Amino acid sequence: MYKLDALPFDNAFSRLPETFFARVHPTPLAAPYPISINRAAADLIELDPAELTRPDFADYFSGAKPLPGAEPLAMLYAGHQFGRFVPQLGDGRAILLGQVRNSRGESWDLQLKGSGQTPFSRNGDGRAVLRSTIREYLCAEAMHGLRIPTTRSLCMIGGDEEVYREQIETGAMLLRMAPSHVRFGSFEVFYHRNQYAPLKQLADHVIAEHYPALIDTDQPYQGFLREVVRRTARLMAQWQLVGFAHGVMNTDNMSVLGLTLDYGPFGFLDAYDPEFVCNHSDYQGRYKFDAQPNIGLWNLSCFAQAILPLLHPDDGEAAAEVARDALAEYEPELVSAYSSGMRAKLGLTTALDGDQALSAGLLDAMHRSQADYTNTFRALSRFKSGNDDRNDAVRDLFIDRAAFDAWALRYAARLRTEQSDDSQRRARMDQVNPKFVLRNWLAQRAIEQAQQKDFSEVDRLLRILHSPFDEHPEHADCAAEPPDWALRLSVSCSS
């Protein structure tokens, strides 16, 4: 286990030329203090648990005290934002402190978000507010608990500095972790500048660090593209299966490792609505829930375009054909991942031709009855498949009881075709249908308490969301549908 002042930094990204970043130090908050510390993330870098209670812990992770071995920098990238290309973005309020390599050989970026202005701040203040920091801190860990690839959250650091958004708010910082924070936009910036040498350097770096099996292959860049396509397809399927909407699926928020990256405005479905738009700033609904799979492919096409010069340096048409072939793998991968995931959510152990129609029929009935997405699937594990069994606990979640009854007959018959055992099926379904997700109203309740310097709800949610498939009967309130006051909640790009 390591002490804070002896973390084993191995800063591979900072060894790249400074074309890729700007060296800049964090601007600490005044009088920083820890809001919440996540032991599970600390274990990933083998940080000694005793270090979590050090009086100067907040100093190290707010920039007030340098971490020995760290080489702080802000990363450069571009991106398509709501469909429009922005030629230069970059880390405007985040600083990569460095990369820690643990004893298992795993490398973890330590990135401080809300750490002050950088050369890429574009007239912004470089700060994050307590509200948005709590949302990202909790949602990253919630996604990990749901077994979905994501960045991780090590700690939140508070301070009494005032930050202006729509109103004056309290500033805060998030220390987030990931194997890499390289994005689709990290490649786009060099492609659109016609700078193909750094494009190749960046691809070689990512392949060496994260796709080493491709190094000795005949076509490593083609393999890289195919792997990013497949990972992104699986990620989109996982989002859909848990009812997660990202809200800002710009190419600068898409990871080349297939991680969920950058939690600003997001939302988990309450009442099932495929048209759900979680971001109040998304006026045209570009990133609505059921559009996410198509947007994933659109973003991948931008990434594929950005690495065309690597696929066939001397033959543009051949490069385009390789890219098209790789992108063609997206839909089959997505459909396969979603179909197998939905069968698991329904407790099915075999695949039959009518399964897609069965799941679509359930979603349609849920939509028409405004049934809660998470709670309906969780309750479905209690479904009894016998001819004479009543299923009132699930049925009562539907306004249109007749629609549910018609679907239930089909579902029961389908279960009987594979001689499903109800008790065994329930155990399986409860391991894929969470009881708890980070609903916006839960996050808001924690935020409002935190604004009064009471961080107990943040820590309570963190514990629950680390094991969202468990019953946690003492925390049943966190599985409830939104109260009336929560129906007025909205989140935007400032969230």
Q: Which residues are catalytic?
A: 252
- CB-CB contact of 97 with 67 (8 Å): yes
Q: What's the token pair of residue 290?
A: 């059921």
From the list 159, 79, 367, the residue with the least C-alpha distance to 243 is 367
CA-CA distance, 185 to 84, in Å (whole number)? 12
Strands 107-113 and 79-81: unpaired
- CB-CB contact of 79 with 55 (8 Å): no
Query: How many beta carbons lie within 10 A of that of residue 316, not counting itself?
Result: 12
Q: What's the token pair of residue 166?
A: 């729509």
Helices 330-345/422-429 angle, 10° precision: 130
Please report the DSSP string for 129-176 in residue order: EHHHHHHHHHHHHHHHHTT--B-EEEEEEEEEEEEESSSEEEEEEEEE
DSSP 243: T
Q: What is the torsional sign of CA 389, 390, 394, 395?
A: positive
Q: What's the token pair of residue 246?
A: 């990202």
> Which residues sit opposite 279 in a β-bridge?
491
Q: Is 105 left (phi over 0), alpha (psi -120 to 50) or beta?
A: left
From the list 437, 403, 409, 410, the residue with the least C-alpha distance to 241 is 437
Contacts of 43 (CB under 8 A, 6+ apart): none
CA-based end-to-end distance of the chain: 36
> Which residues sit opposite 109 in a β-bridge?
99, 178
Residue written as token pair 């600390």: 42
Report the SS3 class of residue 86. Answer: strand
